A = this chain, B = another copy of it.
Amino acid sequence: MEGDNSLKYISFSSIIDSSFWHKLYQLKLDEDRLEEKEREIRGFYLQPNTCSLIVDCTSFNREYESQLGKNQFTTIKYLCDKRLSYNNSFLSATGYLLNFNSASKLKDSNKNLIIEKYGKLIKKDIDSGKAIENPSLLTKFVLITFANLKTFEFIYWFGFPALSSLTFKLLTKPEPLNSVFSDEQIDNLLVSHQELSDENKSVFAVIRGSDKLKCMTLKEYIGLQNKSSIKGMYICFLDPSSDKDYPGWPLRNILTLLVSQCKDIWPIDVICLRIGAPFESSLVLSVSIDEESKQDVWIGWEKNKRDKFGPRCINLQNDLDPLRIADSSADLNLKLMKWRLVPDLDLDIIKSQKCLLLGAGTLGCSVARNLVAWGVRHVTFVDNGRVSFSNPVRQSLFSYGDCDLGAGGKMKAEAAALALKAILPTINSTGVTLEIPMPGHYSATIENAVKLHDLIEEHDVVFLLTDSRESRWLPTVICSVLQKLAITTALGYDTYLVMRHGQAEGANQKLGCYFCNDVTAPGNSMEDRTLDQQCTVTRPGVSNVASALAVELLVSVLQHRQKGVATSTEETVLGILPHSIRGFISHFTHILPSTVSFSQCIACSPIVEKSYSENKTEFLDNVFKSTKYLEDLTGLTELFKATDSLEMLELNDEDDYDEDDEENLESMEDLGEV
A residues touching B (Cβ–Cβ < 8 Å)? 8-11, 33-34, 101-105, 107, 111-112, 146, 148-153, 155, 162, 164, 167, 246, 252, 297, 299, 301, 303-304, 308-311, 313, 315, 317-318, 322, 325-326, 328-330, 332-333, 336-337, 339-341, 366, 369-370, 372-374, 388-390, 392-394, 396, 398-401, 403, 405-406, 408, 422-425, 493-494, 527-532, 534-542, 544-545, 547-549, 551-552, 555, 574-576, 578, 581, 585-590, 592, 655-657, 659, 661-674
Are A544's CB and B310's CB within 8 A?
no
Contacts A659-B313, A661-B107 given; indicate if A366 touches B333 (C-beta within 8 A): no
Q: How far is the CA of A537 from the CA of B336 in the complex (A)?
A: 6
Are B552's CB and A585's CB within 8 A?
yes
Are B103's CB and A656's CB within 8 A?
yes
User: Quick one: closest B residue to A590, CB to CB?
Assistant: B588
Closest chain B CB from A249 CB (angstroms): 9
Q: How far is the CA of A494 from the CA of B388 in the complex (A)?
A: 35
Chain B residues, Cβ within 8 Å of A162: 672
User: Quick one: closest B residue to A391, CB to CB?
Assistant: B329
Contacts A336-B535, A551-B540 given; indicate if A673 touches B8 (C-beta within 8 A): yes
Q: Which 5 A-B pairs have the closest CB atoms?
A: A575-B586, A310-B662, A373-B540, A329-B389, A541-B548
User: Quick one: closest B residue to A591, CB to CB?
Assistant: B588
* Contact residue among B423, B530, B585 (Cβ-Cβ distance under 8 Å from A392): B423
User: Quick one: closest B residue to A155, CB to CB?
Assistant: B657
User: Quick one: closest B residue to A371, CB to CB?
Assistant: B540
Q: How far is the CA of A665 from the CA of B661 in the complex (A)?
A: 81
* Contact residue among B329, B544, B576, B663 (Cβ-Cβ distance under 8 Å from A547): B544
A-B contact pairs, 13 of them (CB 8 A): A103-B655, A150-B531, A304-B662, A309-B665, A310-B665, A315-B408, A330-B389, A332-B535, A337-B532, A340-B537, A392-B423, A393-B423, A540-B551
Q: How far is the CA of A221 from the CA of B597 in the complex (A)?
A: 82
Chain B residues, Cβ within 8 Å of A422: 399-401
Closest chain B CB from A536 CB (angstroms): 6
Are B400's CB and A373's CB within 8 A?
no
Chain B residues, Cβ within 8 Å of A527: 102, 104
Q: How far is the CA of A628 from the CA of B670 in the complex (A)?
A: 92
* Contact residue among B309, B322, B528, B666 (Cβ-Cβ distance under 8 Å from A668): B309
Are A530's CB and B578's CB within 8 A?
no
Q: How far is the CA of A107 from the CA of B8 in the complex (A)?
A: 100
Are B672's CB and A333's CB within 8 A?
no
Chain B residues, Cβ within 8 Å of A303: 673
Contacts A423-B392, A588-B592, A665-B311 given; indicate if A532 touches B336 (C-beta within 8 A): yes
Chain B residues, Cβ within 8 Å of A34: 530, 532
User: Quick one: closest B residue to A110, CB to CB?
Assistant: B666
* Contact residue among B297, B318, B326 (Cβ-Cβ distance under 8 Å from A400): B326
Are B673's CB and A9's CB within 8 A?
yes
User: Quick one: closest B residue to A422, CB to CB?
Assistant: B399
Chain B residues, Cβ within 8 Å of A330: 389-390, 392-393
Are A332's CB and B390's CB within 8 A?
yes
Chain B residues, Cβ within 8 Å of A167: 671-672
Closest chain B CB from A300 CB (angstroms): 9
User: Quick one: closest B residue to A100, CB to CB?
Assistant: B530
Contacts A111-B668, A393-B424 given; indicate if A574 touches B494 (C-beta within 8 A): yes
Q: How far is the CA of A101 from the CA of B535 in the complex (A)?
A: 13
Counting chain B CB atoms within 10 Å of each CB, the highest count among A11, A101, A366 belongs to A101
Are B672's CB and A252's CB within 8 A?
yes
Chain B residues, Cβ within 8 Å of A664: 107
Are B493's CB and A337's CB within 8 A?
yes
Are A150's CB and B674's CB within 8 A?
no
Closest chain B CB from A182 CB (angstroms): 31
User: Quick one: closest B residue to A674, CB to CB?
Assistant: B8
Are A574's CB and B539's CB within 8 A?
yes
- Known pairs A310-B663, A326-B400, A337-B532; list 17 more (Cβ under 8 Å): A8-B673, A11-B673, A102-B530, A105-B528, A107-B664, A150-B655, A308-B662, A322-B389, A330-B389, A330-B390, A330-B393, A332-B535, A337-B537, A339-B537, A494-B574, A544-B545, A552-B585
Contacts A299-B669, A322-B403 given; indicate if A370 touches B540 (C-beta within 8 A): yes
User: Quick one: closest B residue to A665, CB to CB?
Assistant: B310
* Contact residue among B103, B246, B372 (Cβ-Cβ distance under 8 Å from A393): B372
Contacts A588-B549, A665-B107, A674-B10 given; indicate if A148 touches B578 (C-beta within 8 A): no
Chain B residues, Cβ within 8 Å of A547: 544
Chain B residues, Cβ within 8 Å of A581: 588
Q: How far is the CA of A531 from the CA of B667 in the complex (A)?
A: 74
Chain B residues, Cβ within 8 Å of A390: 150, 329-330, 332-333
